[in-house]
Amino acid sequence: MAIPVTDNPKSFGLGSILLHWFTALMIIGMYPLGLYIGTLTYYDADYHTVPYWHKSIGMILMGLMLVRVLWRTMNTTPAPLPQPKPLLLATKAAHLLLYLLTATTLISGYMISTADGRGIEVFNWFEIPALPAVTENQEDIAGEIHYLTATMLISLAAIHALAALKHHFIDKDKTLTRMINMRQETNQ
């Protein structure tokens, strides 16, 4: 049976699966790209191009996260698989923290990029306008926040991935397969 588009009490739908994996791939790709930007000098060939990609992808990721939050509020979240209550609470806290760190990283990136009053051009498709600066040295302050939250985000994402692998290979439960299986039964 083909996977449904929306979630149901037993499994994630195609919408949640695609949003999860597109978000994950973008975050995983953005971190080394951001680290590379930190090494560039004005005379490097990539000095203008790579930050432009990073900003454009970041704005697309921000839109994707808004869609993801809306999608999650409009869908039934599958019931968690049986596990000890402390582990269930830790899982919920980790998921919430992943969302919060992603939002903080994206907002701080926006604040870095628009501190000079210029908007963000997204792949020459459209421009995200700048808001007025909220503090002096906004670019520097937002830059520190951006680096710290991005590092915490990628670290927590790695722990999240390791936990999923633990569930799959050690616990032998369906935690991971519910997020990768493209042919789930809705009555499993």
Using alpha carbons, select from 113, 95, 2 the residue that is nearest to residue 53.
Answer: 113
Q: Residue 128: what are its φ and ψ, rounded to 5°?
A: -90, 120
More confident position, 68 or 183: 68
Q: Does residue 42 lie in a domain region?
A: yes
pLDDT at 178: 87
Asked if residues 97 and 156 have their Cβ atoms less than 8 Å apart, the reply is yes
DSSP character at residue 188: -
Q: Has residue 173 got a pLDDT over 80?
A: yes
pLDDT at 182: 57
3-class SS of residue 33: helix
12-42 pLDDT tens trace: 999 999 999 999 999 999 999 999 999 999 9
Rounded to the nearest 5 percent, the helix, strand and coil shares of the chain are 60, 5, 35
Rounded to an integer, what distance in angstroms lies between the CA atom of residue 32 and that of residue 9? 36
62-118 pLDDT tens trace: 999 999 999 999 998 898 888 899 999 999 999 999 999 999 999 999 999 999 999
For the entire predicted model, the pTM comes to 0.93
pLDDT at 33: 97
159-171 pLDDT tens trace: 999 999 999 999 9
Number of domains in the chain: 1
Largest separation between any pair of C-alpha atoms in the chain: 59
For residue 11, name the pLDDT band (cuts at 50, 70, 90): confident
Domain with 130 in it: 14-180
Using alpha carbons, select from 22, 14, 116, 117 the residue that is nearest to residue 63.
Answer: 22
pLDDT at 1: 62
Q: Does residue 7 lie in a domain region?
A: no
**What's the whole-number mean pLDDT along residues 141-169?**
97
Rounded to an integer, what distance in angstroms lies between the CA atom of residue 83 and that of residue 65? 28
Q: Does residue 3 lie in a domain region?
A: no
pLDDT at 183: 58
Rounded to an integer, what distance in angstroms lies between the CA atom of residue 116 and that of residue 106? 17
Q: Has residue 187 got a pLDDT over 80?
A: no
Q: Which residues pair with 126 in a beta bridge?
A: 122
What is the secondary structure of 107-125 as a DSSP string? HHHHHHHTTTS--EEETTT
Q: Does residue 9 lie in a domain region?
A: no
Q: Does residue 122 lie in a domain region?
A: yes
Per-residue burial over 79-92, b = 16 or more CB atoms within 10 Å of its CB, e = otherwise: eeeeeeeeeeeebe
